[in-house]
Amino acid sequence: MSAIVIKTAEQIEGIRKSAKLAAETLKYLEQFVVPGMKTIDIDKKCEEFVRDNGAVPATKGYRGFKHSCCISPNEVICHGVPNQTVLVHGDIVNIDVTTILGGYYGDTCKMYYVGEPSEYAKRLVETTRECLQIGMDQCFPDNRLNNIGYNIAKHAQKNGYSVVYEFCGHGVGLKFHEAPDVAHIADANTGPILKPGMIFTIEPMINAGKARAKVDRKDGWTARTIDAKLSAQFEHTILITETGYEALTDVYHEF
Ligand code: MF3
Ligand code: CO
Ligand code: CO
């Protein structure tokens, strides 16, 4: 695997702007995540907003993916292809947006509630939100990368959930997917040493049932839980700083 790039001040400034726009896109889309909406129509709103702000959706044309975001309801773990699926009251749904602004990439996703989901569904979502924060708490210079995944998995499993291991976080900024892979379940005190100027995503996918994913054979992308139980995910683009971290996509401080 290639080396982890330490970003320059100029690159960090560019990535910060792109990350902010990705976060603003998720905020803008809130109004459309309501009962009766088709996921394909949310995708159109996403593309409009990203382009109106001078950016390009990174997923469009990426390895054959045709849409401007991933929309993953309920038992979909990630990479949900926007389609004719209609959102209904009680759904939980993830939207994942990656922007390219001035050549720089920002990547973020979050969960939305469609109406009022069950307590069972909300507990999964809130635990997954905590998992991302617990991962970010491990982001400081000279810590080992895999302490992120070690602590995420500990928290998820303590709550009776499983951690998806077939998809990872990733270095990001100059390209969509850079080194390193960021595992969300890992051994403590292993992996690369974190240094200021590294930028990568943390994006835990946490399942109510079994950890395994299976990809839809028809669209080649949509990854679902094998037992059809719920899955949730949150993602931030993280900069390692001299003293800790900055979540470049956390412009609304939802934690
Ligand atoms: N944004 C996703 C991530 O967090 C990647 C989506 S790739 C796609 O890494 F092709 F499925 F859109
Ligand atoms: Co990502
Ligand atoms: Co993403």
- Separation CA 190–CA 234 (nearest Å): 23
Give the pair of three-digit tokens for residue 162.
């499983």
Could you tell me the distance, in angstroms and rounded to a whole number, from the CA of residue 222 to the centre of ligand 3?
14
39 Cβ inside 6 Å of ligand 1: no
Residue pLDDT, tens place only, 127-139 = 999 999 999 999 9
65 Cβ inside 6 Å of ligand 1: yes
Structural domain boundaries of the chain? 9-247
Closest ligand 1 atom to Cα of 98: 1
In this structure, which residues have their CB less than 5 angstroms from ion ligand 3? 96, 107, 109, 235
Q: Is the pLDDT of residue 157 over 90?
A: yes
SS3 state of residue 89: coil
Could you tell me the distance, in angstroms and rounded to a whole number, from the CA of residue 79 to the centre of ligand 1?
6
178 Cβ inside 6 Å of ligand 1: no
Q: Is the pLDDT of residue 254 over 80?
A: no
9-247 in CATH: which number?
Answer: 3.90.230.10
CB 58 within 8 Å of CB 47: no
Assessment of whether the complete model's pTM goes beyond 0.85: yes
